[in-house]
Copies of this chain bind each other. A is one copy, B any other.
Amino acid sequence: MTLFPDNLNFDGPFPRLSRRLRLGIVGGGRIAATQAMAARMSDHWEVVAGALSSSQESARSRAAEFRIAPDRAYASFEEMAAAETRHSEGVDAVMITTPNHLHHAAARAFLNAGIDVLCDKPLTNEVSEAEDLVGLTSASGCVFGVSYVMSCFPMVRQARQIVSEGGLGRINQIHVEFLQDWMTPEEVADAPHVKWRLDPSKTGKTSCVGDIGTHAAHLAQFVSGLPLTDLRAEFHVCGAPKPVEDTFFAWTRHAGEVPGTLMATRLAPGNRGGLRLRIFGSEGGIEWDLEKAEQLRFNRFGEADRTISRGHGHGVSPATERLVRTGRGFPEGIIEAWGNLYTEFAMAVAARKDGLRIPEGWLGMPTVADGAKGVQFIEATVRSNEAGGEWVEL
C-alpha cells in the first residue's frame, strides 16, 4: 500500500498519508517536547521510540513522558539505530535534539541505517562534519531536514514569494536581528538547560551565533533568495563573563553584492522573540517580526502601506494557504510552524518510501544543505571575529 493517495494533487492541500509515520526521538531536551507536540498535531506522525538518556533507567522514565514503550527506550542512538532497523515496524525517521556536539554522530548512525533524519540546528559543530553529512545524505538517498523552523511560518513563505515575484524590485539591503533577554540575569548560566550552551565542548565555538544567529542568517537567505557570500563579525560578552559570546554583530554581503546587517543577543531586556527581518528594494520593502508572526508588512513606495494577514484569500498565495490551519484572526503560533515542518518532513519521507518525485517548490523544508550553510556561517563569524572583524568569505 502506498502512503500517498492515488489522486494526489500537488496544487491542493497536503494529503493525508495512509498511515501515520513512525518517529523516534534522539536527545529529548525541552525542545523535543515541543516538536513531539507539533508532530502529533500534524497527524502525520506517531512517536514510538527514543534514545533519551545514556542511563537505561533514565532512558525509560523519560521515554514514558512521550508514551514510548519501555522496550523501545534505548540508552544510546547506536543501539536505537540497530534495533529499529531490525524492528518490523521500526521508525521511519528520527528527530535529533541532543546538544550540538552529538548531532553529527547521531545523524551518521541513522543515515547509515537508512533512516531519515530531522536534526536541530546548528547541524554540527564543525564544517567537516557538516560536509560529511551532506555527502552521506546524498549517498544514502535519505531525507535530511534541519529545523530552521522560522521558515515554516506562513507569512515567511508569503514574504519569500513576494520577493521572488519581484515585489520589491531590485534588492538593495537585507537586515535581520534576533534579540532575546533570557540570559540577562547572571544566575541563569547555572540552569541545567543553559549550562551546555555555554560549554564550548558541547555548544561548539559559539553559543549565541550557533543558536539564534543561524536562525537569523537562514531566514534572511530563505526570504531574499540571496545566499550570504561574505561577512565580518565581532563577538561580545555583554553579561556575566563566559567562555563564549552572548552577543554578536555582523555586516553581510549577499549574492550580487547586496549589503546587510545581522545581529543577535540574549541580553536585550524586553525582547523575547525579537527575530526581525527587513528587506528593502528599489520599489518596496518587507518586514516580518516573530512576535507578530501572523502579519507581514509589505510596503510599495508611493502607495499606502499594506499588511497581509495569515489566512485564506486577502492577498495570500495558494502555496502559503497550504500551511494555514485556522482562519485569519484566530492566531496560530510557533507550534503550528513546527507542525508545518513536520508535515513537510512527512511528505518528503513518504515520497521516498513511495518512490514519488516531488515537484520543485512543493516543500520549503530546510535540508542538510541549508544546515551545512549554517555551519559555514558560524565558522565564518568565528574566523572574522578572531581576525579582528575582517571580511571573510563563506
Contact = CB atoms under 8 A, between A and B. Distances in A.
Interface stretch (A176-184, A197-205, A359-367): A176-184
A314 interface: yes
Interface stretch (A93-101, A119-127, A133-141, A266-274): A266-274
B329 A302 contact: no
The number of times this chain is found in the oligomer is 4
A60 to B, nearest CB: 14
A285 B269 CA distance: 5
Contacts of A1: none
A36 B40 CA distance: 10
A327 interface: yes
Contacts of A282: 184, 239
A161 to B, nearest CB: 13
A365 to B, nearest CB: 19
A192 B128 CA distance: 56
Interface stretch (A108-116, A219-227, A257-265): A257-265
A299 interface: yes
A180 to B, nearest CB: 7
Interface in A175-197: 175, 180-182, 184-185
Nearest to A287: B270
Interface stretch (A69-77, A81-89, A333-341): A333-341
Contact of A307 (B259, B305, B326, B336): B305
A259 B274 contact: no
A280 B301 contact: no
B304 A315 contact: yes
B329 A268 contact: no
B249 A309 contact: no
A274 B305 contact: no
Contacts of A333: 326, 330-333, 335-336
Contact of A269 (B16, B20, B64, B299): B299
Given A37-B41, A306-B306, 4 more contacts: A16-B65, A182-B327, A269-B285, A325-B335
Interface of A: 16, 20, 34, 36-38, 40-41, 43, 64-65, 67, 168, 172-173, 175, 180-182, 184-185, 232, 234, 236, 238-239, 247, 249, 251, 259, 261, 263, 265, 267-274, 278, 280-285, 287, 290-291, 293-294, 297-309, 311, 313-315, 325-336, 389, 391
